[in-house]
Copies of this chain bind each other. A is one copy, B any other.
């Protein structure tokens, strides 16, 4: 778990004015994020990057989509502006808004406008959760126009040449049973993600969780079993992230079984049928 630094107590973030030295300073990565490639995703992303085409990442939770985007931002030496989408995120939150101070109203770019204006990767996580106005706002940025109409600012913002749009969602889970419209989908190229092969996944768990290869592999085998429970109604099986959690709890002193219960079985489900099955899987594994 890389140390990413933190704000000094008392630090209150960048001043309002975005025209100061580096408006994207908060969003530059301080060190290289560990990422283990699982296929041709890096080549695919780089081809899309060359043509400045927007990219859609599809895959289950906790399989590394966010880490992959961080990795690509590091490789491309680009700042990374991340937005977690949800149903109450308005187009105004993304585009920007007017603030009032003693000298009148002042415009503050939202994260999407900030990234487009100054040339960052803009990553919208869980796009399927966003409202219609948020996704439609992306359309003119995501085709050859590469422009963001800021109606409320009276500006048509032409994107910086370094700007690129990346979005993700989990096709296996649909909170509000939404769908992306064809006119949105067809503006993106897509990269599919899935859980890595067992050997690759165990290497990740060993490295990120600080445990030996054998325990890592036993955790991966447990995860594979939980993923089969989807057929019995479990929303999703254990992700790689959960395995890392189990390893970290064990390193912090918990017995493996208690660590796996606490990080895998108990968070996964409250269902009266599934919860005991998950506990039994843990007990059979350790």
Contacts and interface: CB of A to CB of B under 8 A. Distances in A.
Nearest to A90: B88
Contacts of A82: 140, 149
A210 to B, nearest CB: 10
Interface string A233-271: 001101101100100110111100011001100111010
A50 to B, nearest CB: 4
Contact of A137 (B19, B84, B150): B84
A194 interface: no
A133 B88 contact: yes
A53 B208 CA distance: 14
B133 A248 contact: no
A239 B242 CA distance: 32
A218 interface: no
A262 B9 contact: no
A126 to B, nearest CB: 7
A214 B193 CA distance: 32
Interface residues of A, number: 129
Given A93-B152, A252-B50, A266-B192, A88 B132 contact: yes
Contacts of A280: none
Contacts of A101: 103-105
A222 interface: no
Contact of A189 (B10, B157, B185, B263): B263
B58 A110 contact: no
Top 5 closest A-B pairs, CB basis? A101-B104, A13-B155, A190-B266, A88-B133, A171-B270
Interface of A: 1-2, 4-7, 9-14, 16, 18-19, 26-27, 40, 43-44, 46-48, 50-53, 56, 58, 60-62, 66, 82-91, 93-94, 97-105, 107-111, 114, 117-119, 125-126, 129, 131-133, 135-137, 139-140, 143-147, 149-161, 170-171, 173, 175, 179, 181-183, 185-192, 235-236, 238-239, 241-242, 245, 248-249, 251-254, 258-259, 262-263, 266-268, 270
